[in-house]
Amino acid sequence: MIATTCILVLSVACSAYGNVLTRRGLTQLGPLEDFRLRHLLRYGWTAVRNKYVLRGVAVNFGQFLTWLIVLSWAELSWALPMNALEYLIVTFLGWKLLGERIEPRRLAGIGLVSVGVLLTMLSWKAR
């Protein structure tokens, strides 16, 4: 279980950092507003040439590989909720690196989610 948890934490950290990088890149691009195919393709093409989006995709690929290892060891209903650890990391990084304002309601929601994660973790039975 310790090895599973370590790889899982690594996977979650990759996911959080990937989201931060991608969001930063997309903030430079601006919100997607036009859903016509030609515009979608152009938006996607611009996105994949953005260095932050590109780095985000690379980091998320690392997340995918480590996640495959976790899935070979653990039950999905245990492994999946553990990804909620990402919320704590993302909230901190969003506030610190992207200037997001964290209001009390959002913080309370994250708190509830975290307790839920803890309970889910306690329900782990040795494989």
Partner 1 sequence: MRRALAFVLAATICGCAGNLCLRQGMIAVGALPGAAPAELLAFFAAAAANPWIWLGIALEIAYSLLWLAVLSWSEISWAVPMNALEYALAAAAAYALLGEPVGPLRLAGIALICGGVALLSGSWVQAGTAADVSLTHRI
The residue ranges that bind partner 1 (CB under 8 A) are 16, 19-24, 26-32, 44, 47, 52, 60, 64-65, 67-69, 71-73, 75-78, 80-81, 83-84, 86-87, 90-91, 93-103, 105-106, 108-123
CB atoms within 10 A of CB 106: 14
Q: Give the residue with the Cβ less far from partner 1, 32 or 42.
A: 32
Minimum separation from the CB atom of position 41 to partner 1 (A): 12
Minimum separation from the CB atom of position 39 to partner 1 (A): 12
Residue type, 14: C
Minimum separation from the CB atom of position 2 to partner 1 (A): 14
Residue with tokens 């480590």: 66
Residue type, 79: A
Q: Give the residue with the Cβ less far from partner 1, 49 or 98.
A: 98
- In angstroms, how far is the first alpha carbon of the chain from the final one? 8
Residues 6+ apart with CB under 8 A from 32: 40, 43
Minimum separation from the CB atom of position 90 to partner 1 (A): 4
Residues 120, 26: Cα–Cα separation, whole Å: 33
